Amino acid sequence: MFQGGNLDLRLDDAVPLAAALTFHECRRLNIAALLLKGTPASDIGVRPPKVPGDVDVLLERTDAQRLMEALQGRGWLERPVTHEGDHPIHSITLYHPRWPCDIDIHFAFPGMDDDPRSAFRALWECRRETALAGQPVNALDITGSTLIQALHALREIHKESNRRELAFLLEDARRPRWSDLQPLASATQSLGALRPYIAQGFPEVNTAALPDPSHRWLLRAGISAPGVHRMLFLKNLPWRQRPAYVWRALIPSREMLASLDITLLEADQAALWTARRRRLKRFVASGASVFRQWLKFRPQTRNQRQHAFDEGTQNTPPLPDENAAGRRD
């Protein structure tokens, strides 16, 4: 049970209420939005029947600011991030001091390499109306939900929870027809990222004929050790910017630390230094994995380095604050 102020919310109550609030604001502002994953996906048999930890909505980039401001007017706050261009940002995360769940406002979704606006419009054609907490929301049909669930599982397949999600999709979930999934995956340019799922879920498909995964996706799905994204990005920075970048990585600010533990926003200096030491210890303990992954993914040529730099900086959110928050899905 979550208690705070005059609220007394369990997670399984808070998530549908937060989704209902989000879509209420979307209707008020005339914003087209889609609810990703969560209970609606479980209801149609594409996701395991479990309580989601947050609310994920997808909309067009130009609408992200308006929705964020509307929710901020209701007490929701922007969650800090650790990224400084080293990792493409695809969402803004809001939290509320008296709610036990977050709201993730996605303006892109990892694995869909098409222009985010075009990808959203392709998914919009897969929408279906359902209700949460008595309010109408736009969810996805089996085809759209399967695509999102598969991309989500494959992006961090090194995690046990993601492997369980993929196993559910392959063994227990309702499965769309390939004739439905293929056009959607093609329209969103996610065929390359989906190849492992397609190979197991649709063995009749010649996966060798599918597009290769993008460099951006290979980095997202292949890097699991802490600090590797920063090490790769460091090589792209001008020399004069590198010392400050390294310093911020070794001695992160209060806000960067709070991206993983929001209580650190109000913590004293002793707690901040404890968190910094723990963070550094995790990096050192993962040294072998860090080095292997850095060797595997480091750009070898100037063109490759520029390409990696461009991909790391082009997906900044459409917000006036340079430290606009977001987080991984």
Q: How many CB atoms are closer than 10 A to CB 76?
A: 21
Sequence-distant (6+) residues with CB within 8 A of 309 are: 233, 236
Segment 247-254 shows an average pLDDT of 88
Instruction: Report the alpha-carbon distance of residue 78 to residue 72 in Å, rounded.
Output: 8
The pTM for the full model equals 0.83
Q: Which two tokens stand for residue 266?
A: 């109000």
What values do phi and psi take at 33, rounded to 5? Answer: -145, 155
| pLDDT in the model for residue 300 | 52
The pLDDT tens digits for 269-304 are: 999 999 999 998 988 888 888 888 888 888 654 454
Instruction: Report the alpha-carbon distance of residue 151 to residue 244 in Å, rounded.
Output: 35
Give the residue carrying structure tokens 């994995």: 289
- Strand residue runs (E) in 96-214: 102-106, 127-132, 135-140
Segment 146-157 shows an average pLDDT of 96
CA 55-61-63 angle, to 5 degrees, is 75
| pLDDT in the model for residue 274 | 94
| pLDDT in the model for residue 61 | 92
Segment 183-204 shows an average pLDDT of 96
Contact 59, 33 (CB under 8 A): yes
Contact 148, 40 (CB under 8 A): no
Which amino acid belongs to residue 37? K
Which amino acid belongs to residue 252? P
For residue 117, pLDDT over 70 is answered with yes
Segment 111-116 shows an average pLDDT of 89
pLDDT level of residue 85 (50, 70, 90 thresholds): low
What values do phi and psi take at 287, rounded to 5? Answer: -50, -45
More confident residue, 91 or 84: 91
